[in-house]
Structure 1
């Protein structure tokens, strides 16, 4: 076997390994950690946001989703103990309310209302660490559901590429950038491999 053939084989082996590692790194970066909602938010519109680090956060009531203005947005949130969550009505989708289904916190905004600008507040204390699931009583069957995860001592799941709760997970910008870079690297590697196989890989200056 010639030195040129050996060089080609070594090059292709290294190229394949590099591409595989790059692709694997991109997949790993795209994964995110999300509270395990236990199926409560499966198929529900409204999305999910990690809002830890904020002392006050707002959730829209009557956001677009679930076949109308029948969503909480974000439907799933993750906050720190001591955070005050304000649910604010958009005025769309009819009368809504906020009522807890299960979990450490007791939520009850009262009778359903439809007036835009209506608010309901709740501060999640240290005694309410965990996941509290809630719903809109008139539209529970239509998927108007929400959940609040409080603190770090809660069950979580790794999600990536779609699925996993209320909606497709939001991929960080760093992961998107890495994905583009990975694709470019793979294309460049394959191009070099084709050139190497076609024209050979050992170029030596002939001795005079």
Structure 2
């Protein structure tokens, strides 16, 4: 670019074209992120778990595709609870290491599933579809967190104060001869 065009003022038309282009890129990026693929490992390391599972549910936005990838043998993905209006059927046949299947989650809500042969061992999973595709924030309502060392000092101080008060009571009530000569 020459110095003359580099410093030239931007016309209203050029500005609007730039804004429209940026909006189109942002809209494309947003829809692409909503339709991204997430992965759930089935039986990783030969363990009877889904990763992520129930303790750490997978949060996704509507339209996200989830790929279930078998990492060990003799597992399935059988839905035990789906949101009203959802038609997710999981994958009920027992499969082995190397198998995978995908599902796209459109309906918002909580999807719970289990491995039928290993449900008694706790092999269960949860997918939560919400608008943001993220776990809800704690909101900061819990207040500041007090470190364990500060709690220990507080308990020790309270114990010391109660000891001093108890000893003062005992000495005032039972200790010493306080009779004064008349």
Q: TM-score, normalised by structure 1?
A: 0.43
Q: TM-score, normalised by structure 2?
A: 0.49
Q: Which has the higher contact order (CA 8 A, sep 6+)?
A: 1
Select the structure of larger CA radius of gyration.
Answer: 2
